[in-house]
Amino acid sequence: MVNPEIEKRKTFAIISHPDAGKTTLTEKFLLFGGAINTAGAVKRNKANQSSTSDFMEIEKQRGISVATSVMGFEYNGKRINILDTPGHKDFAEDTYRTLSAVDSVILVVDCVKGVEEQTEKLMSVCRMRNTPVIIFVNKMDREGKDAFDLLDEIESKLNISLCPLSWPIGQGHTFKGVYSIYNKHLNLFEPDKKKISTPVIEVNSLDDENLAQFLPEKSLTNLKEELELVEGVYGAVDKEMYLEGLLAPVFFGSAINNFGIKELLDTFVNIAPSPKSREAEERVVLATEKNFSGFVFKIHANLDPNHRDRIAFLRICSGKFERNKFFYHTRNNKKIKFSNPMDFMANEKSIVEEAWPGDVVGLYDSGTFKIGDTLTEGEKLQFKGIPSFSPEIFKEVENRDPLKTKQLEKGLQQLTEEGVAQLFVMQPGNRKVIGAVGDLQFEVIAFRLEHEYGAKAHFRMLSYTRSNWVTSKDPKKLEEFLKRKQQHIGEDKDGNPVYLADNEFMINMTMRDYPDIEFHKTSEFK
C-alpha cells in the first residue's frame, strides 16, 4: 500500500566533523528549497570551539538550536526534513540520538583535512542502524588531498564502499568544475556565494568537440583518464546497496560557492529512502500502518526560566498524528492530547493539525517525557534505537546548599532526562554520579541547576573513564558480581546495572575474572 504522504517525505541529517561545512551546506539546501532567501540566514548553531566556558554562548546556542532543530521545506514535490545536530563533540550524544530519528544522512568531508575524528564516530553510529549515507566532499576550491587518495582514505577509515557520482576537474586554484557521472553533464565552476544557478553543459560523450571551448585540453585528457579509472575501480551505483547502508555515493563540490550542491540535492531527493519500518521492542512497525506511533528523540528546555516548559521532539513512525487527539504514552500508561503541536516548515514554527511518518513535531511538555518515550493509539510499544554510549568523564555530585536538596534532585533528574548527560546512582548512600563526554556538559548542568532550579552543585572528579552495561544469563552470577564489585556499580536511568572502570585494562581483567558476565559498550543489548 503506497501512501503518497509517506513517499514524499525525506528525513535526514547532515553530519560532519566541526568546520567541514555542515552549516553552510544546510543553508544552501534551504536556499534551493526556497525556505530562506539569502545566504547567511542560518545562524551557526555551535558553541564557540575555543572558549569552552562561555555560558552566554551556550545559552545563545540553546535559543538558536530550538529554531533550527528541524528545518522542513518542499523541493521537487518532496517534503524534506533536515534534522540539525550539534557540531561540538561534547554534545555528541545529542547527535547520536538525532541519528535514530532520521532515514538517511549526508556526511560532509573537508577535502583538505580528510576523515577526522568525529567523522569516524558519527559513521560508526550510522553503521549500527545501517543508515544510508551520501558523502559530500567539500571545499574543492581549496588545495586539498588528491581525489583518489581521499576516496581510499574514506573507504578504509569509514569502512564503507564508495561510488563517486560526480568527479572533480582539478582542485584548488585549478578547480574547473565537476563532471556528473550520474547525469553525464559538465558543471563549470564559477565562484559565487549568493547565486543558486550554475552553468551546466550537457554532453553526450567526452569526445564531444564542443568541450574544447570549455576546458583546456590538458584538463580534458586528465578527466577522461581519471573517469576511466573511476569506472574501472568503482563501477555503477547500486541503489539497493546504498539503501542497505553498504555503499555510499560520493559528490564533490564547494558549499560556500554553491557549487555541486544542486546535483547533490537532486540525487538525494531521487535516491534517499522515504520513511520505512522501525523496530520496537515488541515488533517491527511499518510506516504504512494505519495507527499512529512515534517516539521522542530530543527534549529541549525553554530559555525562559519562569516557564519551566520544555519542547519534546517527536518523530512520527506510522499512521497520522493529529492535533487534539488522545494518544497513549506507553511508559506512563496514560492518554494525553496536544493542543499546540508545532511544525517546523520553512524554518518557522507554526501549529500543525496533522503530520505523517518522517515528520517531526514539537510538543510542549511540562515533564511528562523522557528521551525514548513512545506514543501510540493504544498499543503497548517501545521503539528501539536510542542507545546510551559510555561516557568518558565521571563526576560525583556534591550538594552545596542543603536547603535546596529537593531542587537539586529535581534538576538533576530533569536535565539528565533531557539527555544533557547521563546519571548513575551508586550505593551506599544513593550517591549521584554524572557521566559525560566533555567538560562543557558539566558547565551546562551547573549553570542550569543554578539558574533554572536554584540549586548549587559541585562536581568531584572520579577516576572512571569507562562504563559497561552488565548482564548475565545466570541471575545468581549477576547478583554475585554486583555484590562483589559494589563500589564500581552504578544504576542507569532505567535501573540497569553499569560497571564503572578506570580504563580498558581494568575492564579486560574483570571480564577475564567473570566469564559469566556480559559487558556491553552501549545500553542497547536486548
Cβ within 8 Å of residue 389, ≥6 positions away? 93, 96, 521, 522, 523
- Of the ranges 28-36, 135-143, 149-157, 473-481, which one interacts with ligand GDP (CB under 6 A)? 135-143
C-alpha triplet 95, 100, 102: angle, nearest 5°: 95
Angle at which helices 439-453 and 405-417 cross, to 10°: 130
Cβ within 8 Å of residue 145, ≥6 positions away? 111, 112, 114, 153
Closest CB to ligand GDP among residues 22, 176: 22
CA-nearest of 99, 103, 45 to 385 is 99
Closest CB to ligand GDP among residues 134, 271: 134
CB 100 within 8 A of CB 372: no
Q: Provide the H-helix boundaries in 173-285.
A: 217-234, 239-243, 261-271
Residue 510 binds to ligand GDP (criterion: CB under 6 A): no
- Of the ranges 32-40, 168-176, 250-258, 375-383, which one interacts with ligand GDP (CB under 6 A)? 250-258
Beta partners for residue 481, in sequence order: none
Is residue 88 a known part of a binding site? yes
Q: Give the per-residue contact string, 151-190, with ligand GDP (x = CB under 6 A; - = no).
A: ----------------------------------------
Is residue 141 a known part of a binding site? yes
Distance, in Å, from the CA atom of 512 to the CA atom of 506, rounded to the nearest integer, reads 10
What grid cell was written down for 407? 531542587
- Of the ranges 136-144, 160-168, 442-450, 484-492, which one interacts with ligand GDP (CB under 6 A)? 136-144
Distance, in Å, from the CA atom of 115 to the CA atom of 137, rounded to the nearest integer, reads 10
Q: Shortest approach of ligand GDP to residue 268 CB, angstroms?
A: 18
Closest CB to ligand GDP among residues 20, 375: 20
Is residue 17 a known part of a binding site? yes
Residue 92 binds to ligand GDP (criterion: CB under 6 A): no
The H or E element containing residue 398 is strand 393-399
- Of the ranges 12-20, 123-131, 488-496, 515-523, which one interacts with ligand GDP (CB under 6 A)? 12-20
Angle at which helices 117-129 and 92-99 cross, to 10°: 30
CB 313 within 8 A of CB 285: no
Residue 362 binds to ligand GDP (criterion: CB under 6 A): no
Residue 145 binds to ligand GDP (criterion: CB under 6 A): no
CB 42 within 8 A of CB 31: no
Q: Shortest approach of ligand GDP to residue 261 CB, angstroms?
A: 10
Q: Provide the H-helix boundaries in 360-474.
A: 405-417, 439-453
Beta strands at 354-355 and 334-336: parallel, antiparallel or unpaired: unpaired
Number of residues engaging ligand GDP in binding (CB under 6 A): 19
Closest CB to ligand GDP among residues 125, 423: 125
Closest CB to ligand GDP among residues 24, 510: 24
Residue 57 binds to ligand GDP (criterion: CB under 6 A): no
Residue 256 binds to ligand GDP (criterion: CB under 6 A): yes
- Of the ranges 11-19, 291-299, 381-389, 435-443, which one interacts with ligand GDP (CB under 6 A)? 11-19
Candidate list 43, 60, 89, 142; residue touching ligand GDP; CB under 6 A: 142
CA-nearest of 133, 139, 105, 251 to 187 is 251
Residue 23 binds to ligand GDP (criterion: CB under 6 A): yes
Residues that bind ligand GDP (CB under 6 A): 16, 18-24, 44, 46, 87, 138-139, 141-142, 254-257
* Binding-site entries for GTP: 16-23, 84-88, 138-141
* Binding-site entries: 16-23, 84-88, 138-141
